[in-house]
Structure 1
């Protein structure tokens, strides 16, 4: 069972639903898609009844959470979603695994009263309920703290307009220890016995220690092979506490230098957002949602055939700051020319989209110069027209 919703559904996802005739919730977004794809639209009452009976449910976007909370009666499913979505609740539940890890929840109204000098730096400030690195700040000194509070005050209203409260909450923020180590994003589902099934592992690379952007993720045979066993053990241990079944999730985690694995956030009932989970489709031929809905497990030995020494990347090109929405166009030919092998270029042309493109690219593992370049690039060079508000 599938829920399509804003902000975006790829043609790859929609064509899968059309081909398989999986039940799709008849909402406004799905009806719009059905003008191009022959979807099996199911009315709200019937869909809710079937989903509440234990049938596997997948949503392309957390914008579907409000509908799920209001209509699904599966208490265990709802418990798992709420627990994973609320970072403070999940941190509290997992505290026995990390007794030394420091975290606290602070309401927005209390932020200005926090004595930041009493906190051990660096630390992370982020919404307790969040998405897409929105409102995430690395705090290394008091100047960073003041800048973060100013940015929250400036942008909170626009966040609330773009995302429902179930996706990005506006009431509480989480202050937590900064976790050193490599960051990974994993698409995983928990089967009917609660056992984890990993469908993709992406390395999330940053331009610097204080960078929190979602610009570059990549996967490869080596990344999956080197981490699959330890991540599977970690998810099994985590689910001994969380206790979800028939449940998809996109989980971001860090691996510390001593091998300790700590989750950064868990995004329930979906895989990587904006349909970027389809990097697995471009890399290995995996539709992650198909494997989950059809209760399949990857045969990695077969899928890795011919993939030696190759990196498959998903690059998010965010709109440069200082450019008014709808007041710019972008040089997509220049974007295409920035990579030696573009597997797919997705133009994001709605004025409210926070990015102007997603790029799926293939790169030789021994020559990643184009990835290093785009990770640190000034994306205003791709702006073809429009007025900048920069001084």
Structure 2
């Protein structure tokens, strides 16, 4: 069963839905995405879909916009409780607090940010929306002297951010202030099967331009990343699943690993894999369909897959628009020039930048011993690809 919603339904997800001839919640996004091929699937209204969902073991939602519908229509099922503990970052920190007794975090209302005593915080720390998406509204604070300037930056951003996503996806009325987790950052697409066992369908390494970079510009996956981290991440997610009683549930988990190998979660995004259908990178990289894996309860055959891709890296580049660029002033984006910046582009996905503040997602391939193209794009403001009016 599928719930399709904004911001984006990829052709790959669409073809997966059509090939499975499954049940799809009848909404505006589903009809637009499936076009004339909607007759090849079962479009069910709210009542019909909810009735079938109570019997079906697995639902996949491509967007957290679906969370509001699930809360309203499936309140008598296990889904809302599993979602709630992860969607609110403060509730999530409460859940895992026994595992990290020395970790500092604090929930605060947006209206009360100015009242926070910066001398009482643990530095460096991160302040971000309690219910968030991408790195919108996320800021790193190095010292007490930086607190008030950062709060002002947040206030300057809030109105611009609010227009992009509904509160179920991005709620800027509440924030969490938490201790910075140092180390390498990873994002994991995984699901819990009917018995609560963890199945990983991809692992992404997060590249940064600098220590204070909090953007989502570049993520990479490779056989060496999968081989190194699949087992320890599976063990960690199994413990998380036990604490939250998870089963038949997909997640996109962001975490850091310090120099001693200690794993600490940043956040867990429920009911989906990587947002904006970025999870499709698993297909480009490994021929793995993450949606089919979850719905069938099947694990990728990593022992067979990985040796065939050794030495390669597969990346997704998020062409986010710099905060100092007014999206309304963009006259044109040179997508071809952006695509040609990479020697082995795999797929370019243009985005309505006036609506979302991102002009494209690009999948690309590189050699593990040469990531120069990816590091170069990390340091770009991307204005070279835009014609501004």
Unpaired segments of 5 or more residues in structure 2?
A: none
Q: In structure 2, what is the Cα distance between the partners aligned to 1:364 and 1:226?
A: 18
Q: Which residue of 2 aligns with 1:291?
A: 293
Partner of residue 357 from structure 2, selected from 354, 363, 379: 354
Q: Secondary structure at the match of 1:47?
A: helix
The corresponding residue for 1:216 is 218
Is the contact between residue 126 and residue 135 of structure 1 (CA under 8 Å) also seen in structure 2? yes
Q: How does 1:146-161 map to 2 (within 5 A)?
A: 146-161=148-163
Distance in 1 (alpha carbons) for counterparts of 2:372 and 2:157: 34
Give the 3 Å change call, closer, same or farther, for CA 240–127 of structure 1 in structure 2. same
**8 Å contact from structure 2 (residues 183, 259) kept in 1:** yes
Q: Does 1:53 align with 2:55?
A: yes
Question: Structure 1, residues 272-319: CA drift from partner, whole Å, max 9, x if none?
Answer: 000000010100011111100111111101121420100000010112
What does residue 25 of structure 1 align with?
25
Q: For 1:8-32, what per-residue CA distance to the aligned partner results, in whole angstroms no more than 9, with x for missing partners?
A: 1111111110111111110011111
The equivalent residue for 1:78 is 80
Deviations 1:200-250 (A, max 9, x none): 000011111110000000000000000011001101111121111000000
Which residue of structure 1 aligns with residue 278 of structure 2? 276
Query: SS state of the match for residue 174, structure 1?
Result: strand
1:254–1:262 CA contact under 8 A, matched in 2: yes
- Counterpart Cα distance in 1 of 2:106 and 2:142: 17
Aligned counterpart in structure 2 of residue 202 of structure 1, from 185, 204, 220: 204
Say whether the 8 Å CA contact 1:77–1:244 is kept in structure 2: no
Shift of the alpha carbon at 1:386? Answer: 1.8
**What TM-score do you get using the length of structure 1 for normalisation?**
0.95
Indicate if the aligned counterparts of 2:104 and 2:122 stay in contact, CA closer than 8 A. no
Cα distance in 2 for partners of 1:236, 1:118 equals 34
Counterparts of 2:75 and 2:339, CA distance in 1: 46
Is 1:363 matched up with 2:366? yes
Residues 106-125 of structure 1: pairs in structure 2 closer than 5 A? 106-125=108-127
| Residue 377 of structure 1 pairs with residue 380 of structure 2 | yes
Cα distance in 2 for residues equivalent to 1:269 and 1:184: 19
**Counterparts of residues 161-310 of structure 1 (less than 5 Å):** 161-310=163-312
Deviation string, structure 1 residues 24-70 (Cα, Å, up to 9, x no partner): 11001111123243443112111111112343111111111111111
Query: Are 2:321 and 2:381, in contact at CA under 8 Å, matched by a contact in 1?
Result: no
CA distance in 2, matches of 1:115, 1:128: 19
Listed as ranges, the gaps of 5+ residues in structure 1 are none
8 Å CA contact retained: 1:76, 1:244: no
Native 8 Å contact 1:13 1:275 kept in 2: yes
CA RMSD of aligned residues (A): 1.4
Q: Give deviations 1:130-189, integer Å, cap 9, x for gaps.
A: 111111110013453223211222232333332111111233211111111000000010
Moved more, 352-361 or 51-60: 51-60
More displaced 10-residue stretch of structure 1: 142-151 or 194-203: 142-151
**Is the Cα–Cα contact under 8 Å of residues 62 and 273 in structure 2 kept in the other structure?**
yes
How many angstroms apart in 2 are the aligned matches of 1:300 and 1:233?
Answer: 17
